[in-house]
Amino acid sequence: MTRTDPHSYFDDRQPRADRWHLRLLVDFDSRVVGGEATLMFPRPVAGIMDLDSKGLAIHRVWVTVSGVEVPFELGPEEPILGRRLRLTLPEATHGVSIAYETSPEAVGLQWLEPAQTEGRRHPFLFSQCQAIHARTLVPCQDSAVARVSYEAEVVVPEGLTAVMSAGPQGDGPGPFPGSRAFHFRMPQPIPSYLLALAVGELESRELSPRSRVWAEPATIGRAAWEFAGVEEMIVKAEGLFGPYDWERYDLLVLPPSFPYGGMENPRMTFLTPTLLAGDRSLVDVVAHELAHSWTGNLVTNATAEHFWLNEGFTVWAERRILRTLHGEEACAAAWAIGQNALDESMDRFRTHPELTLLRTRLEGVDPDEAFSSIPYEKGARLVAVIEQAVGEAAFLDFLHAYMRRFRFTSITTEQFCAFVEERLPGVLGQVDADRWLHQPGMPANAPVFRSASLDAITALAGAWTAGTRPAQPVMRAWSPSELLVYLQNLPRSMGLEDCAWLDRELDLTARGNYEILVEWLCLAAASGYHPAFGRIAEVLGRVGRMKYLRPLYGALGRHAETRALARATFAQAAAGYHSLSRRVIEGVLAQYPD
Ligand code: BES
Ligand code: ZN
DSSP string over 416-444:
HHHHHHHHSTTHHHHTTHHHHHHSSS--T
The confidence band for 534, taking pLDDT boundaries of 50, 70 and 90, is very high
pLDDT value, residue 35? 96
Q: Which residues, listed in sequence order, are joined to residue 127 by a DSSP beta bridge?
A: 109
pLDDT value, residue 314? 98
pLDDT value, residue 456? 97
User: 489: part of which helix (H) or strand (E)?
Assistant: none
Q: Which letter, b or e, does each residue of 417-427 get, where b requires 16 or more Cβ atoms within 10 Å of its Cβ? A: eebbeeebeeb
Q: Order of strands, edge to edge, in the sheet holding 262-263? A: 203-208, 211-215, 250-253, 268-271, 262-263
Identify the residue whose C-alpha is closest to ligand 1 atom 19. 285
Give residue 296 CA to ligand 2 midpoint distance, Å: 8
CA distance 42 to 123: 39
- What average pLDDT does range 270-277 have in this prediction? 98
Identify the residue whose C-alpha is closest to ligand 1 atom 2. 263
Nearest ligand, measured from the Cα of 314? 2
Q: Residue 501: is its pLDDT beyond 90?
A: yes
131 lines ligand 1 (CB under 6 A): yes
Residues 262-271 pLDDT 10s? 999 999 999 9
pLDDT value, residue 405? 98
pLDDT value, residue 451? 94
- What average pLDDT does range 70-87 have in this prediction? 98
Q: Residue 410: is its pLDDT beyond 70?
A: yes
Q: Which amino acid is at 381?
A: R
In a 13 Å sphere around the CA of 572, the CA atoms on its Cβ side amount to 12
Cβ-based burial of 457 (10 A; exposed 0-12, middle 13-18, buried ≥19): buried
Give residue 305 CA to ligand 2 midpoint distance, Å: 15
Cβ atoms of 146 and 138 within 8 Å: the answer is: no
Mutate to test the pocket of ligand 1, among 294, 311, 365 (most ligand atoms within 8 A of CB): 311
**CA-CA-CA-CA torsion sign (469, 475, 476, 477):** positive
CA distance 22 to 540: 36
289 lines ligand 1 (CB under 6 A): yes
Residues 136-183 pLDDT 10s? 999 999 999 999 999 999 999 999 999 999 999 999 999 999 999 999
Cβ atoms of 143 and 192 within 8 Å: the answer is: yes
28 lines ligand 1 (CB under 6 A): no
Q: Residue 1: is its pLDDT beyond 90?
A: no
CA distance 330 to 336: 10
Share of the chain above pLDDT 70, in %: 100
Share of the chain above pLDDT 90, in %: 99
CA distance 255 to 126: 9
pLDDT value, residue 162? 99
Give residue 419 CA to ligand 2 midpoint distance, Å: 23
Q: Which atom of ligand 1 is nearest to the CA of 371?
A: 7
The mean of the pLDDT values for the chain is 98
Give residue 150 CA to ligand 1 midpoint distance, Å: 23
566 lines ligand 1 (CB under 6 A): no
User: 24: part of which helix (H) or strand (E)?
Assistant: strand 19-27
262 lines ligand 1 (CB under 6 A): yes
The confidence band for 593, taking pLDDT boundaries of 50, 70 and 90, is confident
DSSP letter assigned to residue 82: B
Residues 211-234 pLDDT 10s? 999 999 999 999 999 999 999 999
Secondary structure of residue 300 in the 3-state scheme: strand
Q: Which distant-in-sequence residues (6+ apart) come within 8 Å of 154 by Cβ?
A: 22, 24, 26, 162, 164, 181, 182, 183, 184, 197, 199
CA distance 359 to 156: 41
β-strands 299-301, 83-101 pairing: unpaired
Give residue 449 CA to ligand 1 midpoint distance, Å: 22
Q: Structure pTM? A: 0.98
The confidence band for 594, taking pLDDT boundaries of 50, 70 and 90, is confident
Q: Which distant-in-sequence residues (6+ apart) come within 8 Å of 301 by Cβ?
A: 144, 307, 308, 309, 310, 410, 411, 412
CA distance 6 to 132: 11
Cβ atoms of 14 and 50 within 8 Å: the answer is: yes
- At residue 572, φ and ψ (nearest 5 deg) are -75, -40
261 lines ligand 1 (CB under 6 A): yes
